[in-house]
A and B are shown apart, each in its own frame.
Chain A
Amino acid sequence: MRHAVSLRIGPIGFRIGSDWRAPIDQLRSLYRDYPQPYDEVADYTVRLFARRRWRRWIRPSVEIGGDYMLPEAAPLPLRQGLLAAEMAMNLQMALGARRYLLLHASAVERDGRAVLMTGISGAGKSTLATLLAARGWRFMGDEFALLDPQTGLVHAFPRLISLKNEAIAAAQAAWPTARMGPLLASTPKGDIRHMVPDARAIAAMDVPATPALLLFPRYGFAAAVRSVPPAEAFVRMTQASTNYVALGEPGFAALTGLIAGIPSIAIDYPDSDSAVAQVEALCAAR
Chain B
Amino acid sequence: MDDAAPVTFRADPADARRAAPLDAFTAVYHRRSGITHLLTEPAPQILAILSEHSLSLDALLTRLSQDYDLADPMRDALAARLDELVVAGLVTAS
Contacts and interface: CB of A to CB of B under 8 A. Distances in A.
Indicate if A touches B (C-beta under 8 A). yes
A231 B23 contact: yes
A238 interface: yes
Interface stretch (A60-68, A148-156, A176-184, A252-260): A252-260
Interface stretch (B24-32, B54-62, B85-93): B24-32
Instruction: Kindly state the interface size class of chain A when it binds its partner.
Output: 10 to 19
Nearest to A229: B23
A230 B23 CA distance: 6
B20 A245 contact: no
A234 interface: yes
A235 interface: yes
Interface centre among B24, B25, B31 (most CB of A within 10 A): B25
Contacts of A260: 20, 22
Interface string B15-39: 0001010111101010100111010
Given A235-B38, A245-B34, A252 B23 contact: no
Nearest to B40: A231
A71 interface: no
B20 A231 contact: no
B25 A231 contact: yes
A249 B22 contact: no
Interface string A193-220: 0000000000000000000000000000
B29 to A, nearest CB: 4
Interface residues of B, number: 13
B31 A249 contact: yes
Contacts of B36: 238, 244-245, 252
A231 B18 contact: no
Nearest to A244: B36
A231 B34 contact: no
Contacts of A256: 20, 22, 27
Interface string A255-267: 0100110000000
A231 B29 contact: no
A245 B20 CA distance: 16
A188 interface: no
Contacts of A231: 22-25, 27, 38
Given A231-B27, A235-B38, A256-B27, 10 more contacts: A230-B22, A230-B23, A234-B22, A249-B18, A249-B34, A252-B18, A253-B18, A256-B20, A259-B22, A260-B22
Interface of A: 229-231, 234-235, 238, 244-245, 248-249, 252-253, 256, 259-260
7 contacts: A230-B22, A231-B24, A231-B25, A234-B22, A249-B31, A249-B34, A259-B22
